Chains A and B, each alone.
Chain A
Amino acid sequence: DGGITQSPKYLFRKEGQNVTLSCEQNLNHDAMYWYRQDPGQGLRLIYYSQIVNDFQKGDIAEGYSVSREKKESFPLTVTSAQKNPTAFYLCASSILGGSGNTIYFGEGSWLTVV
């Protein structure tokens, strides 16, 4: 089936640890995105990429890093510099970066600091 796969679904991070969230899509989409969702809040953009080997910071990029070595993959690393990482993380993709195109989302990953 075509779609976006995020893993793991649930992840626990210890203080000072870096963790990486995986996002893979088989939709042949050019653009990929990472959003963070906190309870009662809208989605906030962390990073986005419109083409392989290129990515841009979103509104809340501090404490996060990404890579886009392959078209279908856009992993997100939550570093120890992110002071409040507990949240629901959503990966998304679209045909072309930006307006005019429907954006599709994965099922999300829950990250909890222990």
Chain B
Amino acid sequence: KQEVTQIPAALSVPEGENLVLNCSFTDSAIYNLQWFRQDPGKGLTSLLLIQSSQREQTSGRLNASLDKSSGRSTLYIAASQPGDSATYLCAVWLTQGGSEKLVFGKGTKLTVNP
């Protein structure tokens, strides 16, 4: 059964710092991996989608990488800002039990201090 793990569970950094969030998955047979941001009490906002054939995707100050063989993805945030404070979740699309499904990690809660 696919498991998605995010480490650390929480992270606190000073403003301006570059940081990396980690995501690992146990089964490398995934279709793609998606990173989301969730503000407290809100829905999820898609940040980046990496297809299984891709190595990385970039959007502004965000860069996500994918290494299927090792079952790992990282989300790099450059020059962090207080507005980046949120919970970041990764999720993988895979086939399980004969149907396609999206499996989520529990998230990393990021706090960027002014």
Contact status A41-B106, CB under 8 Å: yes
A102 to B51, CA, bound (A): 10
Least CB distance from A29 to B in Å reads 13
User: Majority SS of interface residues in chain B?
Assistant: strand
A25 to B100, CA, bound (A): 21
Interface string of B83-99 (1 = CB under 8 A from A): 00000010101100001
Size bracket, chain B contacts: 20 to 34
Neighbour of B101 across the interface among A58, A88, A104, A110, CB < 8 A: A58
| A43 CB-CB contact with B under 8 Å | yes
| A72 CB-CB contact with B under 8 Å | no
A42 to B93, CA, bound (A): 15
Q: Which residue on B lies nearest to A57, using beta carbons?
A: B99
Interface residues of A in 62-109 (CB under 8 A from B): 88, 90, 92, 97-100, 102-108
| A27 CB-CB contact with B under 8 Å | no
A97 to B80, CA, bound (A): 34
Q: Which residue on A lies nearest to B89, using beta carbons?
A: A42
Contact status B43-A42, CB under 8 Å: no
Contact status B43-A99, CB under 8 Å: no
A97 to B93, CA, bound (A): 11
Interface string of B1-26 (1 = CB under 8 A from A): 00010000000000000000000000
A43 to B43, CA, bound (A): 11
| B45 CB-CB contact with A under 8 Å | yes
Knowing A42-B4, A97-B100, A98-B100 are in contact, say whether A104-B46 is a contact too (CB < 8 A): yes
Q: For residue B106, which residues in chain A have a CB less than 8 angstroms away from its CB?
A: 40-42
Contact status A102-B34, CB under 8 Å: yes
Contact status B44-A105, CB under 8 Å: yes
Q: For residue B46, which residues in chain A have a CB less than 8 angstroms away from its CB?
A: 102-105
17 intermolecular pairs with C-beta atoms under 8 Å apart: A6-B43, A42-B89, A42-B103, A42-B106, A43-B89, A44-B104, A98-B100, A99-B31, A99-B32, A100-B32, A100-B51, A100-B93, A102-B46, A103-B46, A105-B46, A107-B42, A108-B41
- Shortest 4 CB-CB distances between A and B: which pairs? A99-B31, A98-B100, A42-B104, A99-B93
